[in-house]
Amino acid sequence: MFAATILYAVGFVSNLVVPKSIDSGAEEPLGTALWIDLALVALFALQHSLMARQGFKKWWTRLVPEPLERSAYVLFASLALILLFWQWRPIPTALWSIETQPLALLLQGLALAGWVTSGAASILIDHKSLFGLTEAKESPFRTPGLYKYVRHPIYSGSLVAFWATPRMTVGHALFASTMTAYIFIGVFFEERDLVRRFGAAYLRYQQFVPMIVPRLTARRAP
């Protein structure tokens, strides 16, 4: 379900192939569309953040077996995204529209490159446990591949995918800006958890590798 949801997200944000995209579907009055879309993003953000907190996990694993905790998290995240795709209200007023074909194709390709970067970054770490396919295991701190250039390549790729588009509508900008805000809020808490988990190793990593904007050359913290 998660794999299908992510693939649909690519088409949804990029307005490609899928039957219901970020700029298609029934239109509502501006105020109604704004409230619905903001509520959908807030629901996803609440689920994504709440279920990731250690306090919630301790309570949740009293109800579900601990090996299934991550699987349940991924399942509910997928359902929240599916609801967002289904109920999203387009706001089609264009903020910019690139008519020059080469530039439009370049932006579309850049967005797809962002999605590929996010996917590749997830594979470089504990891919199966990240998506709930296997039980998460404690592992030593490491920085494979893309993680030598940027601390959060999954988020970096996602931001490129959200913003690189030949036609930016108000609805698309609302989605991109709220998801961007959520990413930076999430990074704050994630970095705090990583420092708590890995200690001095992660503090050194923070000093030598940028958080979101990649450096041009790989660098490993001493």
pLDDT at 127 over 60: no
What is the pTM (predicted TM-score) of this model? 0.86
Q: What is the pLDDT of residue 131?
A: 55
- Domain boundaries, given as residue ranges, for the chain: 2-208
Query: DSSP for 69-102?
Result: HHHHHHHHHHHHHHHHHHHPPP---EEEE---HH
pLDDT at 218 over 80: no
**From start to end of the chain, where are the E strands?**
94-97, 167-169
The tens digit of pLDDT for each residue in 35-54 reads 999 999 999 999 988 887 77
Which residues does 111 contact at the CB level (< 8 Å), separation at least 6? Answer: 13, 14, 160, 161, 164, 165
The tens digit of pLDDT for each residue in 67-79 reads 888 888 889 999 9
